[in-house]
Amino acid sequence: MKIVIAVKRVVDYNVKVRVKSDKSGVETAGVKMSMNPFDEIAVEEAVRLKEKGIATEIVAVSVGVTQAQETIRTALAMGADRGILVETEIAVEPLAVAKLLKALAEKEGAELVILGKQAIDDDMNATGQMLAALLGWPQGTFASKVEIADGAATVTREVDGGLETVKLALPAVVTADLRLNEPRYASLPNIMKARKKTIDVVKPADLGVDVTPRLTVINVSEPPSRKAGIKVPDVATLVEKLRNEAKVI
């Protein structure tokens, strides 16, 4: 079984995000970038399936600038077999990413596509669902457990009321939630081996996909600072302030 995994290059989760001085977006110049944490979980799950003998090949795909090859190399060091970069300087929206992944999944003959449930930069949480719809494949989103057997994937999902288990006929799309696994650290020997693994570079046009944005960012600003909280001496004072100052009751 061939697995395609999607990995996104984002601002590292340890970095405090800053807005550009011209308010056009988030500052990325000179900022540490890394793989989206949910995508790391997706990579780990694919590698574990290969270690169990279920998967035969893992293809890591990223969409973005040339530097996204570094993100693919991280996936290769974790255990992916080869990579594909869909190179573009345009900020690609979820629908365009889904269309690109659809084209690659069909071209590669993938039986399973695993990606993070969302990216920490835009929190869209849309690409996996759009991809499943475009492919016409079943989907298991917010996965906290994945089991593959007899041509089907049994996925335990994180839902508002607790957990839900669904059985998906392969091929299918799975999006990884936080509790699916704990990603491994790439060892130095594997990092060195990853340098020799293949990364193919293609353009969106090669896949027949127009990635022109449908949305225009007008302005980006910092969220307003929250006021400090206060302590009240008793319940009566709390109720009075909620009613007369906050006006929420």
Identify whether 45 is part of a domain. yes
Residue 204 located in a structural domain: yes
Burial bucket for residue 14 (CB in 10 Å: 0-12, 13-18, 19+): exposed
Looking at residue 227, its pLDDT comes to 83
| pLDDT higher than threshold 90 for residue 224 | no
Question: pLDDT tens, 78-98?
Answer: 999 999 999 999 989 999 999
Q: What is the pLDDT of residue 169?
A: 96
Statement: the pTM of the whole predicted model exceeds 0.95: no
Q: Note the maximum CA span of the chain.
A: 69
User: Does residue 24 belong to any structural domain of this protein?
Assistant: yes
Please give the average per-residue pLDDT across 142-159, as a whole number: 95
* pLDDT score, position 81: 96
Query: Does residue 19 contact residue 221 with C-beta atoms inside 8 Å?
Result: yes
Domain with 148 in it: 2-244
Residue 249 lies in a domain: no
CA nearest 45: which of 202, 168, 156?
A: 156
pLDDT in tens, 2-29: 999 999 999 999 999 899 989 888 888 8
| Token reading at 12 | 């590292």
The phi and psi torsions of 60 (rounded to 5 degrees) equal -95, 130
The CATH number covering residue 175 comes to 3.40.50.620
pLDDT given at position 89: 92
pLDDT at 162: 92
16 found inside a domain? yes
pLDDT band at 207 (very low <50, low <70, confident <90, very high): very high
Domain count, the chain: 1
The pair phi, psi for residue 41, each rounded to 5°, is -65, -40
- Tell me what pLDDT residue 7 has: 97
Is 215 among the domain residues?
Answer: yes
3-state SS assignment for residue 23: coil
For residue 199, is pLDDT > 90? yes
